[in-house]
Amino acid sequence: MDIVWFLVLSALIFCIGVAGVLTRRNPLVVLLCLELMLNAGNLALIAFSRMHGVLDGHVFALVVMVVAACEVVVGLGLIVAMYRRRIPIDVDELSELRG
């Protein structure tokens, strides 16, 4: 399988993620779409790593996974805090910094 197939697939997944982030209003789903974009980036990194036959891309992908996990944890914490304060879970409503 040529590397270019993996790259095009990764671009497609990334764009689906972008469409989701722009379209959806539930912050939970926005976070999920961010995951999609990060995973598409991972796929491209691993494809390039395979293309060069060097393992550096794998380490980079691992770090991306760590960053994704941190982002999820902090994002979900924010959503739980919003839910506790009975703020509507909708990114369009969240237009001011002050709670």
14 binds another protein (CB under 8 A): yes
26 binds another protein (CB under 8 A): yes
90 binds another protein (CB under 8 A): yes
Comparing CB distances to another protein, the nearer of 18 and 94 is 18
d(CA 31, CA 79): 10
Q: How far is the CB of 38 from another protein (least distance, A)?
A: 10
From 13, 41, 93, 95, residue interacting with another protein (rule: CB under 8 A): 13
Number of residues that bind another protein (CB under 8 A): 72
Contacts of residues 37-40 at CB distance under 8 Å and 24 or more positions apart, as own/partner, are 37/13, 38/64, 38/67, 38/68, 39/13, 39/68, 40/10, 40/11, 40/12, 40/13, 40/14
76 binds another protein (CB under 8 A): yes
